[in-house]
Structure formats: C-alpha cells, structure tokens
Amino acid sequence: MGMFVDYIENECERLLQESPQFTELQREDHELLDEYPFLNMITDSNGVTKVLDLNYAETEALTKFCLVEEDINCWKRLQMYLLGIAHAMWIIELFTFPVTLIPPERMITCALTNSQDCQIIKIISWKL
C-alpha cells in the first residue's frame, strides 16, 4: 500500500503547490520559523526540553504559527478528500452499467492480493 499512498501524497502536494493561497501559507510558516527560533524547538521531534519564557511578541508568534499550521493541515486534508472524490467518481463512471439493478449472478467477483507492497484488485470472474 506504500506506493499508492506515496502517489496520492505526491499528487496532493503537486496540486497544493498550484494554489496561491496554500503557497502563501507556506511562505508565512517559513517566515515565522526563521524569525522565531524557539518555534523550531517546539516542532522538533525531541520537543521542548527546557522551560520557555516567552514575551508578548513571541506568544503572538506562537499563536500565529499554530493557526498557520492548522490552515496548512486543513488545506492538505481538503485536497486529499477532493482527490479521493475525483478517484471515486472515475471508478463509478468506469463501472457504470446501462442496467440500474444488477442481479447477484451478474456481479463482479473480486479478490484482494498483495503484490510488492501494493494491494491490487483482480477481477476473477465476470458473468453476463
């Protein structure tokens, strides 16, 4: 499943980079990280290792940083959702049949198999 997830993440990132609003959020995020070094310590994988004594400007920067990060994550989730809808619509169109009600004996029989870290759906039989 790793290859598929990588593909979706890369496609989402590519689409997000085309958005001026998203790139502006990223620019703002990087500016805050550059201007306030303590933000890097907070976002570092080690976390906060000492007491932070923040002044008012730093507290405001932390608040702004949290809001910008949340907006960036919201954009990413929304893009992932929209990309999922686009793929679902493509699959629905792919399997659109002229008959609205399909009796069970005419349905597709599928099986999931693993192949090189990627799940593949194989059509085993198709009854007409």
The reported pLDDT for the residue numbered 100 is: 46
Say which DSSP state 55 is in.
-
Q: How far apart are CA 39 and CA 115, in angstroms?
A: 42
Q: What is the DSSP string of the chain?
A: -HHHHHHHHHHHHHHHHT-HHHHHHHHHHHHHHHH-HHHHHHHSTT---S-----HHHHHHHHHHHHHHHHHHHHHHHHHHHHHHHHHHHHHHHT--S-SS--GGGSEEEEEEEETTEEEEEEEEE--
First to last CA, the chain: 32
pLDDT digits (tens, 9 = 90+) for 62-83: 999 999 999 999 999 999 888 8
Percent of the chain whose pLDDT exceeds 90: 35
Q: Give me the pLDDT at residue 103, please.
A: 52
Please give the residue that has the higher pLDDT: either 15 or 28: 28
Binning pLDDT at 50, 70 and 90, where does residue 109 land?
very low
Report the run of H or E that residue 50 belongs to, with start and end. Answer: none
Q: How far apart are the C-alpha atoms of 38 and 27, rounded to whole Å? A: 18
53-57, 91-95, 105-109 — which is least confidently predicted?
105-109
pLDDT at residue 101 above 80?
no
Whole-number average pLDDT of the chain? 76
Q: Which amino acid is at 19?
A: S
pTM: 0.64
